[in-house]
Amino acid sequence: MNIALVVHDLQDQPGHSLYAKTLANGLGLRHRVTVFANRCERLADARWDTQHVRASRRSAQACIQSFPLGMRAHAAALSGYDIQHSQGYCGGKPNVVTAHICVAAYLDSLRSANLRNRLSLQLMARTEARFYRRYHGRVIAVSQKIANELKQYYGVQTPIDVIPHGVDAARFRNGTHESERGAVRSQLQLKDNQTLALYVGDLTKSHTHLKALAAAARRPAGVALHLQSKSSPASQLVWKCSPSRA
């Protein structure tokens, strides 16, 4: 089977990029796979091919907005593939889309955003909404929340399959795990037997999630909640919770 995987970037890092790379490595063992991307890291022994898609790199948003224009140059080649899998809206005419985010819902959840970012997100949300209104292929959502948002904000009528993200535990464990664990706990001033809850994500839209996490952390006494984010000046913050307050 000929499979095209369309993604803005394919690199060995978290997010859409690693998701697509994992698909390429797995599917490439049994099928003919080609990755269409603007930037692509490919090992010499990889069992899949690549096609470069032109896009602006002035910013992440510029890449996302210009990528569909670059996809037009590959329209004829893409028509020969049995499966055209796209990571969200990337342009072209995919027959399978994996949704990692609903831009309209993300925009609605932001506590604050400057005018430039808000206008850019509004443009992206309108483009995404127009795509889903015309799309009749298969949709995969990485969570039930995303599936619900696609229906609520874009009126998606086609069936949505929810396939949650998995975690490759081997990527987070190595021979220095125990020593690193001790060093991190010492830095956070936590005892070895103290329970630690970790939140990693975007703090610009996480206020509702943090309330739920803080409430959960209050139930057992002495739980510490650690926040890790690059979206806030306070990128590292530990809340030491008691039964009465967080």
Contacts of 176 (CB under 8 A, 6+ apart): none
Confidence at 242, pLDDT banded by 50, 70, 90: very low
φ/ψ of residue 184, rounded to 5: -65, -45
Token pair for 206:
């996480």
| pLDDT value of residue 118 | 85
Contacts of 27 (CB under 8 A, 6+ apart): 3, 5, 33, 48
Rounded CA separation 12/58 (Å) = 21
Kindly state the DSSP code that residue 204 receives in the 8-state scheme.
G
Average pLDDT in the 218-236 region?
62
Least confident segment among 50-64, 144-158, 202-216: 202-216
- pLDDT greater than 70 at residue 95: yes
Confidence at 245, pLDDT banded by 50, 70, 90: very low
- pLDDT greater than 50 at residue 246: no
pLDDT digits (tens, 9 = 90+) for 179-189: 788 888 888 88
| pLDDT value of residue 235 | 43
pLDDT digits (tens, 9 = 90+) for 26-75: 999 999 999 999 999 888 889 999 999 999 999 888 898 899 999 999 99
